Amino acid sequence: MSERGALSAKDLKRFKKTLEDSRKAILENARKTMEEESNFDTDDLPDEIDQASSEYAQSMNFRLRDREKFLLKKIDKALARIEDGSFGTCERCEEPINLKRLEARPVTTLCIRCKEEQEKKEKSYG
């Protein structure tokens, strides 16, 4: 394990829980929408999202709005970063990301400085 990460195992655990909770909330919301909009007999739907068949998961994924899909992708990426130990480290400059920033936005992959630079670039591109 590298020493550069400023996050303790406890912090990581907490972020993981936060991310998993957001993920669950998005999926649960999508499931509700799907139940409301479809003619499926809800008894046929799996109780646990984890047990969902891939077909079911696919149709549910289809129901997710673009914004939710985007967020879900970011959450998955953040969770993967927790697994591989890169969570809390800026993707660009590899400096630790400020803890307060992570708490406000656990899916972030950039430190505030790199984020500002990115936004400046995006603006100048149009």
Contacts of 55 (CB under 8 A, 6+ apart): none
Q: Strand, coil or helix: what is 21?
A: helix
Site string for Zn ion, 62-101 (x = CB under 5 A): ----------------------------x-xx--------
Region near Zn ion per CB under 5 A, out of 16-24, 48-56, 61-69, 111-119:
111-119
Q: Which of 71, 59, 57 has the alpha carbon at shortest distance from 26? A: 71
- The reply on whether position 111 binds Zn ion by CB under 5 A is yes
Shortest Å distance, C-beta 82 to Zn ion? 18
- The reply on whether position 112 binds Zn ion by CB under 5 A is no
- The reply on whether position 115 binds Zn ion by CB under 5 A is no
Q: Strand, coil or helix: what is 122?
A: helix
Separation between Cα atoms, residue 60 and residue 57, nearest integer Å: 5
By CB under 5 A, name the binding residues for Zn ion: 90, 92-93, 111, 114
